[in-house]
Chains A and B, each alone.
Chain A
């Protein structure tokens, strides 16, 4: 009891400090990340950092669906595959610019996400997870068998690096790194605004209690589909980013392991938080790289991490609940003050 109170106090102090100085903290982090490639210009290191960034995007996408709306998807590799394939095919075969191509990929993924969202209106819980799992596998099979479009199991090779105004972005000239950084910032900002918006609150209401949300007049079907579409589009963009980073995709790039990896990032970091995605991605993507000395055992260890996390900290590493008072927006605050003044 006493210990709890003390911990709560510490937690309160920690959150208070991070909340008060959040702008400075964000700025410092941002500056650190901007100058990072000049300090560590090692190619291998930068590639891993970019990969972490890509997975942060993917986790952000899944987080909208799983963390905030409470619909657990086990097939998000499917959306990643759609984004990667659509953009690579357009770039390689039709000479599209990367950004236009990835936009098309996002739209395709959004439409397919809407179609996948439809069964979510009928089934829930475990059954929905299984439908998404089947969806992921079907996308993989399609990529394998639709040879005319996807080149089958051979995959698509030599995907060119993206370019802006004749300037090619690759790992050596840090272009790809900064593109990743800007993408991560934009997507984080988008997710932050989405979560704080009316839509975000509706999604969280659905997660907490579907029935109660209906009673409050929230159109559940509409918001569930929205969650699916947004999540699919973010993941599709992550997929096209991944395809230019690696330069080669084939159907086995997007197997069930990728879906579970994304889900593990979300869960390890903390479902329904944005900060958690960064920590989860850093730990799970860097882990296989730093633990090369463990050889094959590192995949065993990866499973053990999942099991232990679920046992001892199921809310995720950074999945703490805010103990600060709820922050009202300025206009609301003014109105409340006025109201209280009137009452007094």
Chain B
């Protein structure tokens, strides 16, 4: 029973981790909590559903959705956030802007697709593997494998490639990075693209897991993923993975032992405890306060 719940939680947590990565990447570079990320995730899931429904084949459908969502991320940055950076606005201005954008995306989805919950076809089939009492569905196993693979690819991009080097440089000091000849705007746009891509894959996986997709799905998932990102130490990729897994497992535990109505509250309780006890999270660097 407990083992079963842990596995369920791990599969779910992988989904959260993928969304959390988006928060982490953007926070790392812009010091901005991107509240529109939940809406981007919902957009990605909806697009994945539409393109898979168009009989391109699953892979082509998801790749198209990924690119489209990534481009949406770039548009958000170029149209709304970059002008604010150029004006050197207060951080609160960007925060409110992202809330506004999330409003726009979610409501446009509702206008064009309707607010009802739509059935999302199970991508990986209905098969399952049994270990004694524990049942692992193919969907769960594939969720873990795909997410892990994506995490590895992301880490490779961030820690081994040239653009990753530029990203880390921008993260440390964007002004100095610009002086070293790094195109900071391009790096930020690329980060938004990566975040959008991860959100789409998360959307397709989680949508396939619950077999349901709707425009407001991003709100709760986004908040929980954010809790995961903070728990792991925002700005850190391994942190996002671990945070996502912890949130996922504790959520499925809470659903079993406290009743399913408490499953949504547990992420926030974790979040508040972490922020009070260790605001930098498990893997976060200690922030230095300059006078």
Asked if A307 meets B80 with Cβ closer than 8 Å, knowing A122-B276, A300-B107, A300-B108, the reply is yes
* Contact B111–A310 (Cβ < 8 Å): no
Interface readout for A123-134 with B: 1 if CB under 8 Å, 0 if not? 101110111011
List which A95-149 residues lie within 8 A (CB) of chain B: 119, 122-123, 125-127, 129-131, 133-135, 137-138, 141-142, 144-145
In the bound complex, what is the Cα–Cα distance between A133 and B95 (angstroms)? 13
Q: Chain A contacts of B111 at CB under 8 A?
A: 296-297, 300
Interface contacts (Cβ under 8 Å), in number, total: 114
How many whole Å from B156's CB to the nearest CB in chain A?
29
Closest to B39 in A: A303
Q: Chain B contacts of A145 at CB under 8 A?
A: 259, 261-262, 265
| Chain B interface, number of residues (Cβ within 8 angstroms) | 43
* Contact B265–A138 (Cβ < 8 Å): yes
Cβ of A305 under 8 Å from chain B: yes
Q: Chain B contacts of A127 at CB under 8 A?
A: 230, 275, 279
* Contact B272–A119 (Cβ < 8 Å): yes
Q: Chain B contacts of A264 at CB under 8 A?
A: 96
Q: Is the interface of A mostly helix, strand, loop or mixed?
A: helix
Cβ of A245 under 8 Å from chain B: no
Interface residue stretch chosen among B86-94, B172-180, B181-189, B240-248: B86-94
How many whole Å from A227's CB to the nearest CB in chain B?
16
How many whole Å from B248's CB to the nearest CB in chain A?
17
* Contact A306–B272 (Cβ < 8 Å): no
How many whole Å from B89's CB to the nearest CB in chain A?
6
In the bound complex, what is the Cα–Cα distance between A19 and B89 (angstroms)? 30
* Contact B97–A307 (Cβ < 8 Å): yes
In the bound complex, what is the Cα–Cα distance between A72 and B264 (angstroms)? 23
* Contact A211–B265 (Cβ < 8 Å): no
* Contact B103–A310 (Cβ < 8 Å): no
In the bound complex, what is the Cα–Cα distance between A270 and B216 (angstroms)? 30
Q: List the interface of chain A (C-beta within 8 A of B).
A: 72, 119, 122-123, 125-127, 129-131, 133-135, 137-138, 141-142, 144-145, 211, 256, 260, 263-264, 267, 296-297, 299-300, 302-307, 309-311, 314
